[in-house]
Amino acid sequence: MLKNKRAIIVVIIMITMPGFSFANDKWAWEQFRNNFIQEDGRVIDWVNNCTHSEGIGYALFFSLSYKDKKTFENVHNWMHNNLKKNRYGLYGWKWGEGDSGTWGMVDMNNATDGDMWIAASLLLAHEEYGNGKKEYLNEALELLAAIRTNLIHKGDDDSLYLLPGKDGFIHGRMLTLNPSYLLLHLLRKFAYYEQDGPWRELYKDSRELLRKSRFGRFQIHPDWIHVDSDTGQVKMYPEHRNFSYDAIRVPLFLAYEQKSFNAPELDDIISTYIHLGRVYDAIGKVTQPVDLLNDTMSLTEAPLGFQAVFACLDKKEQCMDYHRSIKKELHNVSKDYYSFSLLLFTDILFR
């Protein structure tokens, strides 16, 4: 039995292809909607005082998950009226207050995970609300075409690599990549709609990259990595060597993929996070960051969203008790967009 009811979540996913089944408990969603979504549909990350494409994509997915059509439409409308696409057909990642004091697009480079969540949510909306019409489907396919054209890089080793954004991530033969953007379950979704597209090959190569991009004694993923696109060699990125803010989503969505689609080939990767959970159990709390270059762990308690990802493995009721305790604590940190997002993903996916 684990101390403080902290361990590793084994994800029990409620999704099927082509659609998803969704959770019924709406408390966390209502809190997220009240705290982070304005009546006009703008999604606000209060910590960074901005709106970003990730938040839009998450909010679209969450509103579909809880069958909140009104909020989905509000967020979707705000996105169309405010979050502009760049010349590549990808959404600029950041909307907020500019240097002149005016509000609008601040950075037109894209964030690939935001584009992917928006595209996937539009596909889900087509399934949920389409009623034979294809507006959401066509919009999703248009965005997928932009992702396919601009964000998939073929290396000299013939592997496909998913760039984190259109600009700034290719440095000669060296690529800067984000393991948490390798959303295998979304790549499956895209392959379902574009069966002749590159998605299955990208899925296979991304899965292999996740296997190769583990470091340190825990053999887990850092927030960012460098990849030699000539040889496929993965290197530590010293300035971003920690398992922390970004990388927490790697085990979250790997477990999602594993349980959703019966992917035992991911067992060896996920087992490393199970081992880390046992270490957290030994010290009595979930901490972050983990320095994968120096093999050291901070003793600073991780945010509540991190703790929601590291819940219990053995008994579901234990897991749900701990999960409920995290929800209660989140009452006191209502501005923490990221923790609420992670909590919602665990609420939806880990039932």
Q: Provide the annotated active-site residues.
A: 54, 113
Are 75 and 56 a contacting pair, CB within 8 Å?
yes
175 has which bridge partners?
170, 227
* Residue 96 φ/ψ, nearest 5 degrees: -175, -155
43 has which bridge partners?
37
The position carrying tokens 């990208």 is 202
Contacts of 187 (CB under 8 A, 6+ apart): 199, 200, 202, 203, 206
E strand map for the chain: 51-52, 92-97, 103-110, 152-154, 160-162, 170-171, 174-177, 225-228, 234-236, 242-243, 290-291, 296-297
Please tell me the distance from the alpha carbon of residue 284 to that of residue 279, in angstroms, as a whole number: 9
